[in-house]
Amino acid sequence: DGGITQSPKYLFRKEGQNVTLSCEQNLNHDAMYWYRQDPGQGLRLIYYSQIVNDFQKGDIAEGYSVSREKKESFPLTVTSAQKNPTAFYLCASSIQGEGWETQYFGPGTRLLVL
């Protein structure tokens, strides 16, 4: 089955700790995205990447970092600099042939602070 997988489903972070959220896709999509979702605020773009070894900041990149070493993978690291990391994190992907704008989402990772 083609799709986007995110792991873990739940993640707990201690104060001062960096944590990494995994996102993998086997859709052969070129672009991948990370969003943060908070209640009543919709989705906000953290980072996106159109090609391997290249990525751009979104609207709320501070306190986060990403890498894109493989087309299939786009991990997100929540660093200790992110003071309010508790949220639902969604990964998405898209392909140029379908219009970059049509994005498909993974099941999400909920990050909680201990």
Partner 1 sequence: AQSVTQLGSHVSVSEGALVLLRCNYSSSVPPYLFWYVQYPNQGLQLLLKYTSAATLVKGINGFEAEFKKSETSFHLTKPSAHMSDAAEYFCAVSEGNGNKLVFGAGTILRVKS
Residues that bind partner 1 (CB under 8 A): 4, 6, 31, 33, 40-45, 48, 50, 56, 58, 88, 90, 92, 99-108, 110
Residue closer to partner 1 (CB basis): 10 or 114: 10
Peptide bond into 8 cis (omega under 30): yes
- 9: tokens are 């489903």
CB of 75 to partner 1, least distance (A): 17
CB of 107 to partner 1, least distance (A): 5
- 51: tokens are 């090609």
CB of 93 to partner 1, least distance (A): 11
Handedness of CA 71, 103, 60, 20 (dihedral sign): negative
CB of 80 to partner 1, least distance (A): 26
Asked if 60 and 11 touch (Cβ cutoff 8 Å), the reply is: no
Residue closer to partner 1 (CB basis): 48 or 74: 48
Cα 30 from chain centroid (whole Å): 15
Residue closer to partner 1 (CB basis): 36 or 82: 36
Handedness of CA 84, 90, 96, 99 (dihedral sign): negative
